[in-house]
């Protein structure tokens, strides 16, 4: 299985690539060109960085990527990667892929960013890979307009927001599975096995 990380200048590429290789026994590569990144079995949108800068790197291949995901290319979006699956963000300029309806807004909490271990409620993201506690590091969250696409929830202070969204073979998670110990690696492995060609 070929797994491609689309590198839009975000951090954490190395540890994520290592976790993916461990989880999937797959050929993991990193690609900075959004169109070339689509020549893969599974696309991964990594999770550290700012929305505006990432959207700018995505823009030259935004429509091709959206069409590929609509046609069934499996994709895992992590944290910022999940946010790029939505229409836009108040964090910065630029358009997301718009695969999920809704926008990304700042956490409604006194203590931001939300960093550390927290629960996932009503987790149905991946069959047989239920997560109870995972690692979060973010200041912005997705406000999904289609409740049926939310497959996991979490809360920080009084703000309840999607921990994960799913549409077909496209899964977005606000948490970092690669930083969530063995259960996070198992979660990634289960997803990759589920969507494998």
pTM, to two decimals: 0.95
Encoding tokens for residue 187? 């979660």
Q: Check residue 24 and give its pLDDT.
A: 67
Give the model's confidence band at 11: pLDDT under 50 very low, under 70 low, under 90 confident, else very high.
low
In whole angstroms, what separates CA 88 from the centre of its chain? 14
- List 114, 142, 156, 178, catalytic entry: 178
Catalytic-residue membership of 75: no
Rounded to whole angstroms, the Cα distance separating 140 from 79 reads 9
79, 114, 149, 156: the catalytic one is 79
What does the pLDDT look like over 80-90, one tens digit per residue? Answer: 999 999 999 99
What single string gives the DSSP state of each residue in 47-93?
--S-HHHHHHHHGGGHHHHHHHHHTT--EEEETHHHHHTSSEETTBS
Residue pLDDT, tens place only, 158-179: 999 999 999 999 999 999 999 9
Q: How confident is the model at residue 3 (pLDDT cuts 50, 70, 90)?
A: very high
- Per the model's pLDDT, the better-predicted residue between 14 and 187 turns out to be 187
Instruction: Quote the pLDDT of residue 25.
Output: 72
- The model's pLDDT over 113-152, given as tens digits with 9 standing for 90+, comes to 999 999 999 888 898 788 889 999 999 999 999 999 999 9
Question: Quick check: is 178 catalytic?
Answer: yes
Helix, strand, or coil here: 115? strand
- Name all domains of the chain by residue range, CATH numbers in brackets: 2-195 (3.40.50.880)
Question: Annotated catalytic residue: which of 14, 121, 176, 194?
Answer: 176
Residue 33 has pLDDT above 80, yes or no: yes
């Amino acid at each position: 299985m070929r797994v491609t990380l689309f590198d839009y200048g975000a951090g954490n590429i190395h540890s994520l690539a290592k976790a993916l290789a461990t989880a999937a026994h797959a050929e993991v590569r990193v690609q900075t060109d959004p169109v070339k990144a689509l020549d893969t079995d599974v696309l991964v949108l990594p999770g550290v960085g700012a929305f505006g800068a990432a959207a700018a790197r995505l823009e030259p291949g935004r429509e091709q990527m959206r069409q590929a995901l609509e046609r069934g290319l499996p994709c895992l979006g992590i944290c910022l990667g999940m946010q790029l699956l939505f229409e836009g963000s108040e964090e910065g300029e630029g358009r997301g892929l718009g695969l999920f309806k809704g926008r990304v807004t700042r956490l409604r909490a006194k203590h931001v960013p939300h960093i550390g271990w927290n629960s996932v409620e009503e987790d149905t993201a991946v069959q047989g890979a239920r997560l109870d506690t995972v690692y979060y590091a973010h200041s912005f969250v997705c406000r999904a307009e289609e409740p049926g696409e939310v497959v996991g929830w979490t809360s920080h202070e009084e703000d309840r927001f999607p921990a994960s969204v799913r549409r077909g073979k496209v899964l977005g998670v606000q948490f970092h599975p690669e930083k969530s110990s063995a259960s996070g690696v198992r979660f990634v492995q289960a997803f990759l096995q589920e969507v494998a060609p």
